[in-house]
Amino acid sequence: MTGTGVETRQPASVRRRPIGSLYAGNARAVMYRGWRATKSTNWLVVVSGVFEPVFYLLSLGIGLGSFVGTVTAGDGRDISYAAFIAPALLATAAMNGAVYDSTWNVFFKIRFARLYEGMLATSLGPLDVAVGEISLALLRGGAYAVAFLIVMQAVGLNLSWWALLALPAVLLVALAFASFGMGITSYMKSFQQMDIINFIMLPMFLLSATFYPLSVYPPGVQVVIQALPLWQSVELVRSLTTGAVTVGILWHVLYLAVMATLGMILTTRRLRRLFLD
Amino acid sequence: MSSPVIVASDLVKQYDEVTAVGGISFEVAPGESFGLLGPNGAGKSTTMRMIGAVSTRTSGRLEILGLDPDAYGPEIRSQLGVVPQSDNLDEELRVRENLIVYGRYFGLPAAHVRSKADDLLAFAQLEDKAKAKVTDLSGGMKRRLTIARGLMNDPRILLLDEPTTGLDPQARHILWDRLFRLKEEGTTLVLTSHYMDEAEQLCDRLVVVDKGVIMAEGTPASLIREYSTREVLELRFGADHNASMAERLKNVGDRVEALPDRVLIYTADGEAELAALTDADIRPLTSLVRRSSLEDVFLRLTGRSLIE
């Protein structure tokens, strides 16, 4: 905030906080609102998201997989096709849950329901709104991930105890996509622009070494694919569920952490610009 | 007198090339009901947003409850109730939930918020709608719910932007009655309106705003006394004749205004002027004598009517 040089009194009860007018430490009120709204309106939509990756796993992993046979994992082992694509579907499910919540839902709230305008007229700051909404998206992505991990365990696709770490990994994936998605959405003004998100998501899902190894691509294309956030996510989760863990996965973690941080900063700035001009 | 709850001096808000508010100054005392009266686009809503600590001023001084909104936005907003121009109720939540969730935004404890919500449902006469969907409420009910929502945090100042625009007369009167109750209980009200009757009903004191600047300030009665006459004689001669008749009558009464649909003659005694015109064989299609209102004040100050 720009200072004007005018000295003002400060009530005894109020301490000057470092991020001043951006954060009131009450993101849970935003989450509470989301939980009440989900409970009363769209819980069916939320639940339906659990089944999508399961259907992919059954049709492609088990069905198509019976023709494909085995794939060579990162550490040279041969693993079943289902075990190869299951972690990719898991990462994608986390991405989809997070992106749906942080893009279409947020778009509607910004442009039509004017929900944030109401929130920011209270003592909430833009960072409360961003953290609250992104945490909700994270919870949703996390719930999908847990459900899918259980399915994977049940059909024997978790090949290592490292798979336990797939849950926090998937939460990081959801966080990165949710915070970035919300920031991007704040620029969107029409449904046509929102369709761009779908236009990006689907090819990314199909091309990010989801259904076949990266080595299928020529070297030049490989670099492009490796730059995609979903490829980073898929590789991270795949290393964990197949047990092909190396120090290299920390690069994926770093990539996603940076993406999450940038997204959070972008979202907060945009909310402030849109609603606290 | 205790110190003012709002102090604005030379307040300016500029959007790129457009000056929405061009240097206005006013103070609001605790417990006062203060109005910003002016046509659409006069800068009222922008001023309200700056008072509400959701819009930063371009220049000038602004203190809300002794605090600078640039530095203490959340602290100020925690003590304000806001009723925006168009309802932004949460349509994904039921009526009572709207109040509860909104109270939680202020970080208030759950038990307090629940009992407060019930009190305010009663205040807003919406007890039997507690579980209804917001989309099923009438316009007047939504407005009352928005006001109830704005009271969840026991605000020291309630900001109302065009509180009754778009409501039918009956709904307006119910709303005015509720707002009058708040005023009696000592809540500081700051409201904008382009309805003169609303400003006359609710405001202890008001400023007339046009094109981002203050044209006049005072109580409704003092403004009328200062800028208008006691009575107004309204004459209609038909759309084609109003202008020419106004020209003919320009020396009648204190002042004459020609509007497209009628001629206004400002005078202390409307009946006497009308009788004199009848004696002079000037016969309008219709005539009406009424008391001066803030509408006349605005017309006098700006040469335009409030509602165009």
Give the per-residue pLDDT at A30: 95
Q: Chain B contacts of A26, Cβ < 8 Å? A: 104-105, 107
- Are B73 and A276 inside 8 Å of each other by CB? yes
| CA distance, residue B102 to nearest chain A CA (Å) | 8
Domain count for chain A, please give it: 1
SS (H, E, C) chain B: CCCCCEEEEEEEEEECCEEEEEEEEEEECCCCEEEEECCCCCCHHHHHHHHCCCCCCCEEEEEECCECCCCCHHHHHCCEEEECCCCCCCCCCEHHHHHHHHHHHCCCCHHHHHHHHHHHHHHCCCHHHCCCEHHHCCHHHHHHHHHHHHCCCCCCEEEEECCCCCCCHHHHHHHHHHHHHHHHCCCEEEEEECCHHHHHHHCCEEEEEECCEEEEEECHHHHHHHHCCCEEEEEECCCCCHHHHHHHCCCCCCEEEECCCCEEEEECCHHHHHHHHHHCCCCCCEEEEEECCHHHHHHHHHCCCCCC
Alpha helices in A155-218 (DSSP H): 166-185, 191-207
Q: Chain B contacts of A14, Cβ < 8 Å? A: 72, 75
A182, A133 contact by CB (below 8 A)? yes
Which member of A4, A8, A122 has the closest CB to residue B77? A122
B74, A14 contact by CB (below 8 A)? no
Residues of chain A in Cβ contact (below 8 Å) with chain B = 1-4, 6, 8-11, 14, 16, 20-21, 24-26, 29-30, 32-33, 36-37, 40-42, 113-115, 117-125, 275-277
Where residue A164 falls among pLDDT bands split at 50, 70, 90?
very high
Phi first, then psi, for residue B214 (nearest 5°) are: -85, 125
Q: Report the number of secondary-structure helices (H) and strands (E) in chain A.
A: 12, 2
- Are B84 and A121 inside 8 Å of each other by CB? yes
Residue A21: how many other CB atoms lie within 10 Å: 24
Q: What is the CATH number of domain B229-291?
A: 3.30.70
Q: Where is pLDDT greater, at A198 or B268?
A: B268
- Best mutation target, A8, A114, A124, A127, to test chain B (most B CBs within 10 A): A8
Report DSSP state, residue A20.
Answer: G
- Are B72 and A6 inside 8 Å of each other by CB? no
Which member of A26, A42, A121 has the closest CB to residue B82? A121
Q: What is the Cα–Cα distance from B44 to B23, expressed in whole angstroms? A: 12
Give the per-residue pLDDT at B306: 62
For residue B66, give the chain A residue with the closest CA: A9
Task: Mention the CATH class of domain B6-219.
Answer: alpha beta
Is A3 part of a structural domain of the chain?
Answer: no
Over the stretch A177-195, which tens digit does the pLDDT of each residue have?
Answer: 999 999 999 898 888 888 8
| H/E segment holding residue A160 | none
Q: Chain B contacts of A37, Cβ < 8 Å? A: 90, 92-93
Is A10 part of a structural domain of the chain?
Answer: no
Provide the b/e sequence for B236-247 (b: ≥16 CB within 10 Å). Answer: bbeeeebeebbe
CATH 3.30.70 residue window(s) in chain B? 229-291
Is A42 part of a structural domain of the chain?
Answer: yes
Range with top average pLDDT, A36-45, A198-207, B133-142: B133-142
Q: Let me know the angle formed at the C-alpha of B80 by B76 and B82, rounded to the nearest 5 degrees.
A: 130
- Are A20 and B63 inside 8 Å of each other by CB? no
Estimate to the nearest angstrom the gap between the alpha carbon of A197 and the chain centroid: 14
- Are B71 and A37 inside 8 Å of each other by CB? no
Which member of A1, A11, A24 has the closest CB to residue B71? A1
A248, β-bridge pairs: none
For residue A275, give the chain B residue with the closest CA: B54
CATH 3.40.50.300 residue window(s) in chain B? 6-219
Q: pLDDT tens per residue, chain B (308 residues)?
A: 578 999 999 999 999 888 999 999 999 999 999 999 988 888 999 999 999 999 999 999 999 999 999 888 888 999 999 999 888 999 999 999 999 999 999 999 999 999 999 999 999 999 999 999 999 999 999 999 999 999 999 999 999 999 988 888 898 898 899 899 998 888 999 999 888 888 888 999 999 999 899 999 999 999 999 999 999 999 999 888 888 898 889 888 899 988 888 999 999 999 999 999 999 998 999 999 999 988 899 888 887 766 55
Q: Chain B contacts of A8, Cβ < 8 Å? A: 63, 66-68, 71-72
Give the per-residue pLDDT at A152: 93
Report DSSP state, residue A78.
Answer: E
Where residue A8 falls among pLDDT bands split at 50, 70, 90?
very low
Q: Chain B contacts of A118, Cβ < 8 Å? A: 84, 88-90, 102
- Are A276 and B54 inside 8 Å of each other by CB? yes
Which member of B70, B75, B82 has the closest CB to residue A2? B70
Mode of pairing for the β-strands spanning B6-15 and B18-28: antiparallel
Which member of A10, A29, A118 has the closest CB to residue B107? A29
Q: What is the Cα–Cα distance from A6 to A245, expressed in whole angstroms? A: 58
A228 lies in which domain range? 23-275
| CA distance, residue B205 to nearest chain A CA (Å) | 25
